[in-house]
Structure 1
Amino acid sequence: MDFAYLQDLSTIDFELRVLILRMTGDIEHALRVRFNNLISRVNEDGYQVIRDYEQDQRAFYARNGKAYDPDGDYQKSIYTTGMIRKYLDSKPVWLFWETCTLNSLIRCYQSFLQHRRFQDPTYSLLYGVRLLRNAASHHNCLLIPPSEQVRPTRDLNYLLRLLLTDETETTDMTLRLAETDPLIHDFACVLLAHANLVKSKGMRSHVVEQINSFLTRMQRHEDWYRNPESGCDHLIGQLDAIRLLLSSIVEFNRKRDDDVLTEEQKHILAQPDRNPVRHGRRRASRQARSGRNPSPSA
């Protein structure tokens, strides 16, 4: 490939990473907000949330023949060491949120969902978000042919079909790549998680501006790669899929702000819901059957 091609592609790859870091930063913040709102919704004890999480982690590590260090989830730095030293003994949930990695945050959120019987349609997207955030933050080149097959995310195909409403060859190709190409799979996870989690119109508007700027830059020398002699068939497929995904999310946000989403498209915004508890008459507790008053729950 000509040096000018490589230079142009390097710039596109860099600007894509910048966009990804912006969106995944929004997602990480919004996930903490959602987590906090769910804890408040069920009047949960934040300390118990951490105790449950640590118990789950110990069991997970034990199954793999390893020991779990709960203090290792708290990332110490010049900005966090003071608060960690002050509050680590009691471990309030806010301390965990302030100092944990995105991976630990996702695992703790999973523990909370399971223990409190919540279902969040966005949860399955978060691992793709984490993988792409890590790749972008470590300045990995993204626009490369995949060396491994991706493990499809449970809800991604369903949500993508709600987002990509036009029946075209590019849509079909994008759906196929989302099942096979790690970049397209994880990038779709980022876009859909951002749409679901980020409620601030201002934050979404700034991202749309950045998307439009990136799309303009991406197409500046598009004809170079479409030359049949360039040998860039897979790259063209990736770029076409990225363009379709980005233009579709821009249009989705426009319809969202104008309140004209279809009923099907609104499923992309579905919020966490709690699984129904036992139906029918509930059996009295052992304490009630013995005539003793139960102690207040934590």
Structure 2
Amino acid sequence: MSVLLQEKIKPILSVDEQIEKLKENGVTFKYISEENAKKYLTENNYYFKLTSYRKNFLKKEVDGKEIYIDLDFSYLQDLAIIDMELRYLLVELSLDIEHWTKVYLLNLIQRQNEDGYKIVSDFLNTLDENQYNRLENEILRNKNSIYCEDLINKHSDLKKYSVWIFVEIVSFGTLISFYRFCGKRYNNKMMENNHFILKMCKSVRNAAAHSNCIINDLNANTTSLSTNYSVTKELSNIKSISKTTRIKKMSNGRIQQVVTLLYMHKKLIPSEGVKKNAAKRLHIFSNRIKRNNAYYVNNDLIKTNFDFLNVIIDNWYTVD
């Protein structure tokens, strides 16, 4: 084993050692005891995930060592809980988006008097061999699923599936590709634009569904992707958000994806009942963000990003 490889390997720390490591790095325990912090790390979360939120805090040099500024263990704990609730919320909203994408597609195809079988075959014919094989494997993996085996086992040939079965058994990613295909087929510019928005929704949905941290890095300039024009235009209608703030906050890839998903849900879903439920859930989340505002009064990065999300929720999702 090379010296370089040895240097990269970090030892597994006991919970006691984890607490000591945090203290060495400047983390305080003013609002939660060390014993309760140990219990939290044992029963509710784990060190690697919890400490990832430290990226949102500044450091200073003390005696030749960099330590975090104004970072208490309770702040990390609070951010982890907010992140968990945000992940659950994003999954719920993305399920709405996926469902109404299917509804929109099937209604559109019906209005076009399409053959419900030929359109699937035509889409599959646009795939190269590798793409087709990946899709086939994707579907066959669910062949023994109690939820869709009856749909998949109806036909052995993908090209014989009807469109109403096809949209039920493919992944969200394949559904988005099919959505784009239909947009091109009908020369629908809105659908071609929405295709890129849906891809961003899928990215944050997948992260949330796999329990990846969402808000553990809120720093600007973490994405090279431009915000979709439609999303930017909608944000520009919020007068309390300046152009400078909008550009800066949307340069963070995580915030960009979350806001894009909120936009898509707002624009795509026709059901007033679903919109009201989404608004209710979002405002509960917004209130949760505000619960411990005092923690972040000296942390401009967290405070301004939370304010940004709260203003968007207030403007896009009103409650009675």
Query: Which TM-score band applies after superposition, normalised by the shorter structure?
Result: 0.7 to 0.9
Partner of 1:78: 146
Give unmatched runs, 5+ long, in structure 2: 1-70
SS where residue 199 of structure 1 aligns?
coil
SS where residue 213 of structure 1 aligns?
helix
For 2:134 and 2:203, how far apart are their aligned partners in 1?
Answer: 23
Partner of 2:291: 220
For 1:204 and 1:222, how far apart are their aligned partners in 2?
Answer: 27
From the superposition, tell whether residues 19 and 57 of structure 1 become closer, same or farther in structure 2 (CA, over 3 Å): same
| Residue 192 of structure 1 pairs with residue 247 of structure 2 | no
For 1:218 and 1:84, how far apart are their aligned partners in 2?
Answer: 43
Partner of 1:272: none
Partner of 1:166: 239
SS where residue 149 of structure 1 aligns?
coil
Aligned AA (1:109): Y
Give unmatched runs, 5+ long, in structure 1: 255-298
From the superposition, tell whether residues 153 and 41 of structure 1 become closer, same or farther in structure 2 (CA, over 3 Å): farther
For 2:80 and 2:99, how far apart are their aligned partners in 1?
Answer: 29
For 1:155 and 1:91, how far apart are their aligned partners in 2?
Answer: 36
Partner of 1:154: 228
Aligned AA (2:238): T
From the superposition, tell whether residues 109 and 6 of structure 1 become closer, same or farther in structure 2 (CA, over 3 Å): same
For 1:102-139, what per-residue CA distance to the aligned partner results, in whole angstroms no more than 9, with x for missing partners? Answer: 10100011111112212225333111100110011011
For 1:21-78, what per-residue CA distance to the aligned partner results, in whole angstroms no more than 9, with x for missing partners? Answer: 111111000000000111011111222221222122217x5xxxx7734423425022
For 1:159 and 1:46, how far apart are their aligned partners in 2?
Answer: 36
From the superposition, tell whether residues 205 and 13 of structure 1 become closer, same or farther in structure 2 (CA, over 3 Å): same
SS where residue 188 of structure 1 aligns?
helix
Partner of 1:20: 90
SS where residue 87 of structure 1 aligns?
coil
Alignment of 1:86-105 (within 5 A): 86-89=154-157, 90-105=160-175
SS where residue 187 of structure 1 aligns?
helix
Query: Contact (CA 8 Å) 1:19, 1:210: kept in 2 or not?
Result: yes
Offset at residue 185 of structure 1 (A)? 1.0
Partner of 2:105: 35
Query: Contact (CA 8 Å) 2:235, 2:246: kept in 1 or not?
Result: no
For 1:236-289, what per-residue CA distance to the aligned partner results, in whole angstroms no more than 9, with x for missing partners? Answer: 2321221122111124x87xxxxxxxxxxxxxxxxxxxxxxxxxxxxxxxxxxx
Which structure carries more relative contact order (alpha carbon 8 Å, separation 6+)?
Answer: 1
From the superposition, tell whether residues 93 and 206 of structure 1 become closer, same or farther in structure 2 (CA, over 3 Å): same
Decide which of 59, 73, 93 is 1:3's aligned counterpart. Answer: 73
Query: Contact (CA 8 Å) 1:54, 1:70: kept in 2 or not?
Result: no
| Residue 133 of structure 1 pairs with residue 133 of structure 2 | no
RMSD: 2.3
Partner of 1:246: 313
From the superposition, tell whether residues 49 and 72 of structure 1 become closer, same or farther in structure 2 (CA, over 3 Å): farther
Q: TM-score by structure 2 length? A: 0.69
| Residue 142 of structure 1 pairs with residue 214 of structure 2 | yes
For 1:137 and 1:126, how far apart are their aligned partners in 2?
Answer: 16
Counting matched residue pairs gives 241
For 1:21 and 1:51, how far apart are their aligned partners in 2?
Answer: 31
Offset at residue 157 of structure 1 (A)? 4.4
Offset at residue 161 of structure 1 (A)? 3.5
For 2:135 and 2:241, how far apart are their aligned partners in 1?
Answer: 50
Give percent identity, aligned residues only.
26
Partner of 1:296: none
Aligned AA (1:22): E
